[in-house]
Amino acid sequence: NTYFSSSDAAFSDRYQAQNEFSRVKEGSIPVKGGWRIYSSGPGIYLHQLISSVLGIRQTEDTFIFDPILPDELDGLECHIELDNYPLDITFELSDDAGILVDGEKQPLENESNPYRTGAIILPKKNLTSKCSQITIKFQKNNRL
């Protein structure tokens, strides 16, 4: 997608622009413009990576973690800001699912999933505004 943007009136300097700005409204002075290229591809890619592979989603009151990762990514670290919470997330392969925030084990609540262990739900109230270290322990049956 290409679109026209950034039209600037062809004034010699800002003083001329200040004195003759009415010419812009009249359309009696040419404008300089540019073309921009917009691609949604990178945004779609990042959304899929974050929400489908790393399994990071959020609701108004919770963060949801549902990683689907291969064994080779055990120990993967992700630094991300979500809803004004800077988070350092580590994904660890484990026999049992779990979640730690700043080293403290959190009560485990899972989303319902008929085919495998459901996503881990973390209430936002369990975090502070400072950067939180989150460790997601995902089960071996939740991997590629």
Q: What is the pLDDT of residues 25-53, one digit of tens each?
A: 888 888 766 666 666 777 788 889 999 99
Number of separate helices (H) and strands (E) present in the chain: 3, 10
Domain count for the chain, please give it: 2
Token pair, residue 72, equals 């080779």
The predicted-structure confidence for 112-135, as pLDDT tens digits, reads as follows 988 878 899 999 988 876 778 889
Q: Are residues 20 and 64 in the same domain?
A: no
DSSP-H helix ranges across 1-144? 14-19, 22-26, 41-48
The predicted-structure confidence for 87-121, as pLDDT tens digits, reads as follows 999 999 888 888 999 988 999 899 998 887 889 99
Token pair, residue 68, equals 């689907």
**C-alpha of 14 from chain center:** 39
Q: Are residues 26 and 67 in the same domain?
A: no
Instruction: For residue 143, give the amino acid letter.
Output: R
Q: Are residues 14 and 81 in the same domain?
A: no
Range of the domain at 25: 2-37
Residue of 41, 51, 17, 45 whose CA lies nearest to 31: 17
